[in-house]
Amino acid sequence: MDGVAEAAEALKSEFFAGDSALDRLNDVQLDVRVELGRSRMLVDDVLRLGSGSVVELDRPSGDPVDIFVNNGLVARGEVVVLDERFCVRITEILGRAAEGI
């Protein structure tokens, strides 16, 4: 079982044991965002961007990416390719999510 599944199970068993409250939330959609890195640019530099331009990010390649759920940082992971699509393998659950809360 991966870290996210473990955290979800801990949440279910500790706080909603025998209660269907969590079941009612299962169909709620959450926004998930993965951040590779950030950059600051001058307006002039942004206006010069075009096809083929490269924007340098603040993280080296191979560093973990940040995973946000509803704008809250909850995990870190590594970028992988599965069936020609970018995906993220979770490597670390952060903060309260790691505690199963």
What pLDDT digit, counting tens, does each position of 2-47 carry?
666 666 666 566 555 555 677 778 889 999 999 999 999 999 999 9
pLDDT of residue 32: 95
CATH topology of domain 3-98: Surface presentation of antigens (SPOA) (2.30.330)
Give the CA count within 13 Å in the CB-facing half-sphere of 5.
3
Decide if 77 contacts 90 (C-beta within 8 A). yes
Query: Across the strands, what pairs with 11?
Result: none
Q: What is the CA radius of gyration of the chain?
A: 18
What predicted TM-score, i.e. pTM, was given to this entire model?
0.67
pLDDT-based confidence at residue 101 (cuts at 50, 70, 90): very low
